[in-house]
């Protein structure tokens, strides 16, 4: 599949978070997803040319939004996030709902509501570029904790993401792949695809590299939460992970 010109680069912040720098090569537009720590994000923006056109927020937790106002004030760019959570997000210039679109230069993202981790969680799918910014809903070999939503909501959200094209790059909010791999191997020890993914994760981390983005087709073969057969199976897996 031939994708367009958007490039997503993880920016390590805090202890294990990623903000994402988005660069639309066709227009030069730059975006940031979930800016929670100013200094490394400013450094990444300056290295990319000192321009910022848009901030995208996936959910309201401080480890995803804490530096939003500082970054907005520095670069004078608009902020987009979920209309459903506008009351507990930084001030939104674009309050977005499921199925709506937002542009970054020539790139266009569809908003996908993904409740479960939080009630108002959203993801951004740049379909023409094969990129999904999914915050804390889907992780490599894992999924987010059910802090506000139900197992039913999270299972439905993951089913929506699982239906996307297999070439989709999963750009999530944390470097949890190593710990997620340990749990995944505990519940699915004979899965060859999972064994291969776990080995690749180990090698990447040993080299000091991020394990993200991950390809959706690899996740569909190895992630136990995407492989759950039904809502009850998913709920039991999530409960096991919480105790693991």
For the cut 70, the answer to whether the pLDDT of residue 4 exceeds it is no
Q: Which of 24, 34, 53, 136 is catalytic?
A: 136
Under a CB-based contact definition with an 8 Å cutoff, are residues 91 and 67 in contact?
A: no
Check if 190 is active-site: no
Check if 174 is active-site: yes
Q: Where are the domains of the chain?
A: 6-175
> pLDDT tens across 8-21, in order?
999 999 999 999 99
Residue with tokens 């750009």: 171
Check if 69 is active-site: no
What the block records as the tokens of 177 is 């792949």
Considering the entire predicted model, what is its pTM?
0.96
Check if 64 is active-site: yes
| Burial of 87 from C-beta contacts in 10 A (0-12 / 13-18 / 19+) | exposed
> pLDDT tens across 151-168, in order?
999 999 999 999 999 999
Q: How many of the other CB atoms lie within 10 Å of CB of 50?
A: 11
Check if 94 is active-site: no
For the cut 50, the answer to whether the pLDDT of residue 1 exceeds it is no
Q: Which one is the CATH code of 6-175: 3.60.15.10, 3.30.1490.190, 3.30.420.40, 3.90.600.10?
A: 3.60.15.10
């Amino acid at each position: 599949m031939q994708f367009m010109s958007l490039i997503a680069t993880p920016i390590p912040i805090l202890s294990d978070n990623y903000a994402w720098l988005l660069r639309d090569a066709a227009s030069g537009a730059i975006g940031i997803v979930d800016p929670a720590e100013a200094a490394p994000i400013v450094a990444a923006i300056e290295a990319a040319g000192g321009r910022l056109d848009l901030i995208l927020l996936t959910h309201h937790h401080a480890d995803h939004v804490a530096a939003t106002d500082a970054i907005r004030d520095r670069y004078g760019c608009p902020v987009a996030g979920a209309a459903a959570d506008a009351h507990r997000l930084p001030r939104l210039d674009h309050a977005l709902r499921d199925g709506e679109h937002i542009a970054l230069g020539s790139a266009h993202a569809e908003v996908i509501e993904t409740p479960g981790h939080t009630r108002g969680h959203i993801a951004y799918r740049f379909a023409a570029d094969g990129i999904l910014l999914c915050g804390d809903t889907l992780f490599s070999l894992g999924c987010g904790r059910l802090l506000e939503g139900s197992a039913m909501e999270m299972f439905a959200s993951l089913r929506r993401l699982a239906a996307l094209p297999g070439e989709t790059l999963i750009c999530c909010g944390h470097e949890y792949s190593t710990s997620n791999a340990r749990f995944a191997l505990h519940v699915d020890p004979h899965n060859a695809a999972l064994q291969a993914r776990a080995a690749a994760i180990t090698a990447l981390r040993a080299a000091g590299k991020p394990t993200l983005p991950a390809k959706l087709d690899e996740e569909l073969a190895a992630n136990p939460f995407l492989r759950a057969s039904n809502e009850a199976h998913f709920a039991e897996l999530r409960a096991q992970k919480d105790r693991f």
